[in-house]
A = this chain, B = another copy of it.
Amino acid sequence: MINVALFGLGRIGQMHALNILSNKNFNLKYVYDVNSQLVKNFEKKYKIKSIKNEKIAFDDKSIDVIFIASSTSTHIELITKSVLAKKAVFCEKPLDLNLEKVIKCRKQISKFNAKIQLGFNRRYDPGHYALKEKLKAKIGKLKKIIITSRDPSPPPISYMKTSGGIFKDMMIHDFDLARLYLDNDKFEEVTAFGTNFKNSYSSVNDYEIAAVMMKSKKGVICYINNSRECTYGYDQRVEIFGEKGMMISNNERKNSIEINNSSFTSSKEPLKNFFIDRYKDAYALQLNGLKDMVIKGKKPRATFDDGQQALYLAINAYKSLKLKKTIKIS
């Protein structure tokens, strides 16, 4: 049984808590959140012990994993402390909004050979990951990647204010996913466009839609398109094109029915509504990845380095948008 201390009981933290509770390999020993009301409610409902400060978890020898789902600004400090306390770490994306902080942390923890898994859920999605597994056999040399990611509706303005913007907060998943397919190659050029059709986004210096085009050292061209609003659900598609063929990881629906009437035919249900539904299987497989990292020392599909590289792309995309030119990245 792997003992876990979970930091952060917001929407994503609560989802992780329920996944941990229903996975037989894990024991959710402590939960912590700065919001004491959230903690109280959770404690009452699930009979899980809450702690008043994080130190208790770091000091408890029985704790195997620090599971970080608190706000982004706390990630780096918690990772550092966890590693110093010899704990394995799961950390939600993004690592931080500031690349220098990430690099500094990396140096600090470099000698510890720490076990850290990043929360890039797409890498555990059965469809998106099947593309990776079949890439060589089915399409041969990779030539293009096209990623579509559209959220059904935007987060609250209050969240967007501190989110770091669409590139660091939302597209970071897609930067990472694109890197997954690239394998031994790397992106060298990035160019970005963004648009607001309403003032609500501009007021927090963010964008409703954003699009990025990147080119890798080997010539692979990648296109990522994000939207904060999408009437038909959570649109999550990946297309990879290569020498021998093309593969698509398509959207998923809650069932497989089709409706035909006088207005239309083969009509399907709306898409799964958002990440908790759409990536349900991915979250469960991610936990198994965490178990394999903790118990067998297996490298997780998403590492600290993946977190850093995705952040680097996000920062350069934003730079491109602001400078209105293609950024050459090293």
Which A residues lie at the B interface, using CB under 8 A?
22, 24, 126-127, 130-131, 134, 138-139, 141, 143-144, 146, 148, 150, 189, 191, 193, 195-197, 208-209, 211, 213, 215, 219-221, 223, 225, 227, 230-233, 235, 241, 243-271, 324-326, 328
Residue of B141, B197, B211, B257 near A213 (CB, 8 A) is B211
Report yes or no: A227 in contact with B144, Cβ–Cβ below 8 A.
Answer: yes
Q: Which residues from chain B contact A138 at a C-beta distance below 8 Å?
A: 259, 261
Per the bound structure, the CA–CA distance linking A259 and B246 in Å amounts to 6
23 A–B contacts from the bound complex (CB under 8 Å) = A22-B24, A134-B257, A141-B197, A143-B209, A143-B227, A144-B225, A150-B241, A196-B219, A197-B219, A209-B221, A213-B213, A231-B262, A232-B245, A232-B246, A232-B261, A232-B262, A247-B260, A250-B257, A252-B256, A264-B264, A264-B269, A264-B270, A265-B269
Report yes or no: A131 in contact with B257, Cβ–Cβ below 8 A.
Answer: yes
* Min C-beta distance of A190 to chain B, whole Å: 10
Per the bound structure, the CA–CA distance linking A146 and B223 in Å amounts to 10
Q: Nearest 3 pairs between A and B by C-beta?
A: A195-B219, A245-B261, A267-B267
Copies in the complex: 4
Per the bound structure, the CA–CA distance linking A268 and B250 in Å amounts to 10
Per the bound structure, the CA–CA distance linking A241 and B197 in Å amounts to 13
Residue of B130, B195, B208 near A215 (CB, 8 A) is B195
Residue of B211, B215, B257, B324 near A248 (CB, 8 A) is B257
Residue of B246, B252, B259 near A260 (CB, 8 A) is B246
Per the bound structure, the CA–CA distance linking A219 and B232 in Å amounts to 21
Report yes or no: B269 in contact with A258, Cβ–Cβ below 8 A.
Answer: no
Report yes or no: B267 in contact with A268, Cβ–Cβ below 8 A.
Answer: yes
Given contacts A22-B22, A195-B215, A197-B141, contact A134 B247 (CB under 8 A): no
Q: Which residues from chain B contact A143 at a C-beta distance below 8 Å?
A: 195, 197, 208-209, 227
* Min C-beta distance of A259 to chain B, whole Å: 5
Per the bound structure, the CA–CA distance linking A257 and B127 in Å amounts to 6
